Structure 1
C-alpha cells in the first residue's frame, strides 16, 4: 500500500510540475477566466436592459392580456413562485403578478418597479394587493462568475486529462510507464488527483480576485462552494478520462472534446439563461453535468442556498463522475491496440 501511494505521489508531483512549467497553459487557466469576468463586468456595468419585465405566476388570465399590448414591456410566465420571487429580489423582474392569489410583488428598491406598478394600475385591471420583496441587485458580472468558473473546470478537466492521456499514448509515454511497477489504476488516480488540485487552486484564485476586486457576492457557505468545485472538477476530469481511454490520435481527441465541450458551454447557462428556450431544449440542458455545476454554484453564491437546496445537483454530479470513472478505467489501455 505504501509503495502504491509513493508511486501515485511521484506521478502526481511530476504532472503538476509539467503543468506549472507550461507557461501558456498556466496563463490560459489563470488569466482568461479573470479577464472574461472583468471584461463583461465593465461592459454590463450599467443598466442596459431596455424593457420592463413582468413575471406572471401561472398562465396569464384574459383580464390581464391587455398588458401584452404595452410597448417595451415583456411578460414572462413562471410555474415556480419561489424562483420568480428570487428574481424580484435581485431586480431581474420589475414586478411579479399572482392573479390566482390576487396580489403582486414589487421590489421597492428596483428602479423599474415603480414604473411597472404605474403601468399596471393604469390599465383598469382587477385590483391586486401590493406586497414587497426587498433585495440586492445581482449584476451580470456576479451572475457570470459561476458560469466562467464552471467553464474553466470543464476545459481544464477535459483537455487537461483527456488530451494529455492521448498525447502520452501517441508519444509512447504510456508504453514506457507500462514497463514500470505503476499500475493503470495508480496512473489514472494520479492524473485525476493532479487535475483536481490544479482546478481547485485556479478556481479559488479566480473567485477570490473577483470577490476582492469586483465585489462578487458569496451569500452561502464557502466550504459548500469549494465542494461544488471539487465535484465539478472531478466530473469533468472523469469525462476526459472516458474520452481518452483508447484514443491515440490527438486530432480525433481534440475534435471529440470540442464536440462535447462547445454544446455544454452554450446550453449550460454560462453566458445567458435558457428561460425563453423551448421546453425540450431546457430539458436536455438540465441533464448536462455542467448545468448542474453552474446551477449549484449560482444558488450558493447568489441565493445563499444550503446543503439541502443543492443536494440533488451534487448527487447527480457525483453519480455522473462514478459512471465515467468506472467506464474509463474499464476501457483504458496503455497502448492503442
Structure 2
C-alpha cells in the first residue's frame, strides 16, 4: 500500500464533496432545522402512548403487595414498566425515557418538570394520585432537545455515511471509473481505505461544526467527556460507512442502491432511539434493534451527554460497533467488484 496513491484519492474525494455546494449545504442545514423544530414542539413526536414506571421492590421486600396502582389496568394507550429501584426509574424519568414514576407502597410519585408528557400524565391520573406525595426529579433538568440531540446527529451521520459512500461507489462503477482505476497501480485496499477515511473525516468534521454551532443557540446539556463523545461518534461513523461499503459492494444501478440504502436506513431511523425510547417495547423488537449500528451510536452518545458515562460504562455499545465494523468491512471487501458486470 503506497501512501502517495492513497492520499491522492483521499484528497480528490474531499475536494469532490466540498465543491458540491448543495450536498454540503444539506449536511449542514438539515440537522439544524430539525433541532430548531424540535426545540419549539418540545416533545411532540406524534405518539399517543405514555410510559409510567412502577417501583415494586420495597413492597416485595416487606412481603406484601398493594393494589394502589390498579387504576393502570383500566387506562388505554399507557405502558406500565416495572422497576426494582427508585433510582433507576428516576434516572429514566430524568432522561425522558418514561413520563412518570409511581411507588405505590410509599404513596409517592415523581414527575419531570421539563417534560410535557410528564405534565399530561399527571393531569390524566390526578384523581387516582390523590393521597400520593408529589415529587420532582432532583437532577439538573434535561430538556427534550438535549435528549433528542444524539438521535438527530446520529441520523444525519447515518444518511451521510450510507448515501455518501453507496452512491459514490455505484456511480464510479456505473461510469466505468472503477474499471479504469483497476488498470492503475491502485489496489482495492487503497481505494476502499481512502473512501472510508475520507467519508469519516467529512462526517466527523461536519458533525462537530453542527454541534458547536447549535450549542451556542441551545446550550446543550453535557455531563461526560468530549473525548468519549468523539470516540463513540468515530466508531459509529466507521461502522455505518462500512455498512455503506457492503451495501454498494456489487450494485451497478443507482436506482437499486437507492432502494437498498433506504431499506437499510429506515429501520434504523425508526427503531434506534432517534425520536423515542424503546423502553417497555416487546423484547423481540429490542433484540432486533440491538443489531442496528445506529442503536449503539445513539445510545452510547446519549449516555455520555446526559449521564456522564465513560467509555468503560458504554463498553457494550463500543464492542458492538467494533464487531459490526469488522464484519461489514470484511464482507464488503470480499464482495467488492471493480466492474459493472456482476
| Other structure's SS at 1:64 match | coil
Could you list the per-position Cα deviations for residues 86-137 of structure 1 after superposition, in whole angstroms to 9, with x for gaps in the alignment?
Answer: 13445765653345x85756369679599899867635xxxx9998751122
Structure 2: which 5+ residue stretches go unaligned?
60-64
The yes-or-no answer on 1:153 pairing with 2:157 is yes
The yes-or-no answer on 1:84 pairing with 2:92 is no
* Counterpart among 37, 47, 65 of residue 39 in structure 1: 37
* Counterpart among 19, 22, 37 of residue 20 in structure 2: 22
Contact 1:105 1:133 survives alignment (8 Å) = no
| Other structure's SS at 1:56 match | strand
The yes-or-no answer on 1:297 pairing with 2:295 is no
How many residues align structurally?
A: 329
How well do the aligned residues superpose, as a CA RMSD in angstroms? 3.3
2-structure distance, mates of 1:173, 1:91: 49
Structure 1: which 5+ residue stretches go unaligned?
none
* Counterpart among 309, 317, 320 of residue 316 in structure 1: 320
Contact 1:242 1:328 survives alignment (8 Å) = yes
Shift, 1:175, TM fit? 1.0
- Aligned residue number for residue 102 of structure 2: 97
Q: Aligned ranges for residues 135-146 of structure 1 at < 5 Å?
A: 135-146=139-150
The yes-or-no answer on 1:230 pairing with 2:234 is yes
Distance 1:51 1:185, change over 3 A: closer
Shift, 1:7, TM fit? 0.8
Distance 1:162 1:299, change over 3 A: same
The yes-or-no answer on 1:241 pairing with 2:245 is yes
Contact 1:108 1:114 survives alignment (8 Å) = no
- 194-203 vs 306-315, which deviates more? 306-315
* Counterpart among 267, 278, 282 of residue 286 in structure 2: 282
The yes-or-no answer on 1:165 pairing with 2:169 is yes
Q: Aligned ranges for residues 247-258 of structure 1 at < 5 Å?
A: 247-258=251-262
- 64-73 vs 153-162, which deviates more? 64-73
Distance 1:248 1:103, change over 3 A: same
The yes-or-no answer on 1:259 pairing with 2:263 is yes
* Counterpart among 117, 120, 130 of residue 122 in structure 1: 130
